[in-house]
């Protein structure tokens, strides 16, 4: 029988337990840490269990460093904040920030990459209380000259506008967390004099879109299936991972419902935003193409609309490299991406639709996202609008003078 009073004393010790470390290994000595956790039993009691973790080589880590690493691991495993003072490292604060916010992001892998490959290498080794605005400014200014290894063994240089923007945003958020935890009094990332601004040398985002005369050239270079896929991307403004997650019962009479997308492993997930879970309008020509495709390829209502040869969802990158880019090259259009197709819809639709209609079809939560990021000016329409404006203004002046 388990004594409840003893359990209470055990839990009291657990709140302050740091564990212990020992040397293990015959040839290569390593530090191994041990600590206890408490499992719930029937009747409201708990049982103490031992856990172990390998902390690192003895040749590169002192016993004190191993004990510090074990304490951090224990706090992490119990959901406690690791950074508890201004002398804690920025890398520890980054981990706190990621654990706290990862539920807010659809794909936290991108955020983790920014923290691990941009912020931590630059200032992760510094103590939180020692970081100054100049250190963070130097980190941001160094992004255009950043070098990194590709998965295939190559080396690339530079930083995209998107990654640099994320780096600035997350740096501010990390030190906002330090203020909320009472570790520092002022946020060095929000210094009014040394401001964290976008460095000039970052790669600017692509703003190009397909001209109306280029769309038929692209579509005629595609087979039937790819023709339908690109047609959906152009007039329904769906993202590729939303297209390849579509099922037969998602297609209706004049509409397509988007209720799921694909993650990096091509597993189903919720769409990018809550507003993405909506119906989009399907115009008559695309409706006839979809009806013909469904009639020619039978299947269960829950089957994928565009499966690969194995019956699984298509790979977005493979479709881009093996279908879209070669077709664009054969059509003499240069580089074309799925993102470019969404930009093409939002830009060309200005001629016939209002901003709210375009926003609804693209399923953006805010109209300024549609207008500022996706919609581009059409030179011919701009010239026509200015010409009409000039005739309105100066025509009235000439009429008054006569």
Spell out the domains of the chain, with CATH numbers in brackets: 1-80 (no CATH), 82-205 (1.10.150.130), 214-380 (1.10.443.10)
**Are the C-beta atoms of 361 and 237 separated by less than 8 Å?**
yes
Q: What is the pLDDT of residue 132?
A: 94
Q: What is the pLDDT of residue 274?
A: 58
Q: What is the pLDDT of residue 42?
A: 54
**Are the C-beta atoms of 78 and 15 separated by less than 8 Å?**
no
Chain-centroid distance, C-alpha 118 = 15
Tens-binned pLDDT, residue by residue, of the chain (402 aa)? 333 334 334 434 444 456 889 999 888 889 999 888 766 555 556 677 788 888 888 888 888 888 878 877 777 766 655 677 778 889 889 988 888 787 677 667 788 889 988 999 999 999 999 999 999 999 999 999 988 777 777 888 888 898 999 999 999 999 999 998 888 999 999 999 999 999 988 988 888 899 989 999 999 999 999 999 999 999 999 999 999 999 999 998 889 999 888 887 888 887 766 555 688 999 999 999 999 999 999 889 999 999 999 889 999 999 999 999 999 999 999 899 999 999 999 999 988 888 898 888 988 888 888 888 888 888 887 788 788 877 777 775 555 555
Q: What is the pLDDT of residue 230?
A: 95
Q: What is the pLDDT of residue 16?
A: 41
Q: What is the pLDDT of residue 3?
A: 39
Q: What is the pLDDT of residue 312?
A: 92
pTM tops 0.75: no
Cβ-based neighbour number of residue 356 at 10 Å: 10
Strand partners, 30: 24, 57
How far apart, in whole angstroms, are the C-alpha atoms of residue 69 and residue 21? 10
How far apart, in whole angstroms, are the C-alpha atoms of residue 238 and residue 136? 38
Chain-centroid distance, C-alpha 168 = 15
How far apart, in whole angstroms, are the C-alpha atoms of residue 304 and residue 262? 12
| Residue in 178, 159, 176, 156 with CA at minimum distance from that of residue 167 | 159
Q: What is the pLDDT of residue 365?
A: 82
For 280-316, give the DSSP string: EE--HHHHHHHHHHHHHS---TTSBSSB-TTSSBPPH
How far apart, in whole angstroms, are the C-alpha atoms of residue 273 and residue 41? 40
């Amino acid at each position: 029988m388990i004594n409840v009073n003893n359990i209470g004393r055990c839990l009291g010790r657990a709140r302050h337990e740091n564990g212990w470390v020992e040397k293990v290994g015959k040839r290569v000595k390593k530090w191994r840490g041990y600590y206890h956790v408490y499992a719930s039993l029937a009747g409201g009691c708990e049982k103490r269990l031992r856990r172990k973790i390998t902390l690192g080589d003895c040749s590169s880590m002192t016993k004190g460093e191993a004990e510090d690493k074990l304490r951090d691991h224990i706090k992490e495993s119990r959901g406690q904040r690791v950074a508890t003072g201004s002398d804690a490292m920025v890398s520890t604060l980054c981990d706190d920030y990621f654990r706290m916010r990862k539920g807010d992001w659809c794909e936290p892998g991108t955020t983790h990459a920014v923290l691990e490959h941009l912020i931590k290498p630059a200032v992760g080794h510094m103590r939180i209380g020692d970081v100054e605005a100049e250190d963070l400014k130097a980190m941001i200014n160094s992004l255009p000259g950043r070098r990194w290894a590709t998965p295939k063994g190559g080396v690339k240089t530079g930083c995209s506008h998107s990654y640099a923007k994320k780096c600035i945003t997350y740096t501010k958020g990390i030190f906002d967390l330090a203020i909320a935890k009472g570790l520092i009094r002022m946020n060095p990332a929000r210094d009014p004099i040394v401001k964290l601004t976008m460095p000039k040398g970052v790669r600017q985002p692509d703003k190009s879109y397909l001209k109306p005369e280029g769309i038929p050239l692209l579509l005629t270079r595609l087979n039937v299936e790819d023709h339908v896929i690109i047609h959906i991307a152009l007039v329904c403004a769906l993202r590729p991972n939303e297209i390849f997650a579509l099922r037969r019962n998602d297609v209706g009479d004049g509409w397509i419902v988007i209720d799921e997308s694909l993650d990096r492993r091509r597993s189903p997930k919720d769409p990018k935003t809550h507003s993405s879970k909506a119906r989009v309008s399907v115009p008559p020509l695309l409706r006839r193409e979809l009806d013909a495709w469904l009639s020619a390829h039978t299947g269960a209502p829950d089957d994928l609309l565009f499966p690969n040869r194995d019956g699984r969802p298509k790979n977005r990158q493979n479709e881009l490299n093996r279908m879209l880019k070669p077709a664009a090259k054969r059509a003499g259009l240069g580089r074309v991406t799925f993102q470019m197709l969404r930009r093409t819809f939002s830009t060309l639709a200005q001629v016939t639709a209002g901003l709210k209609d375009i926003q609804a079809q693209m399923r953006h939560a805010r109209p300024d996202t549609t207008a500022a990021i996706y919609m581009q000016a059409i030179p011919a329409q701009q010239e026509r609008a200015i010409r009409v404006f000039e005739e309105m203004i100066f025509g009235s002046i000439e009429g008054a003078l006569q």
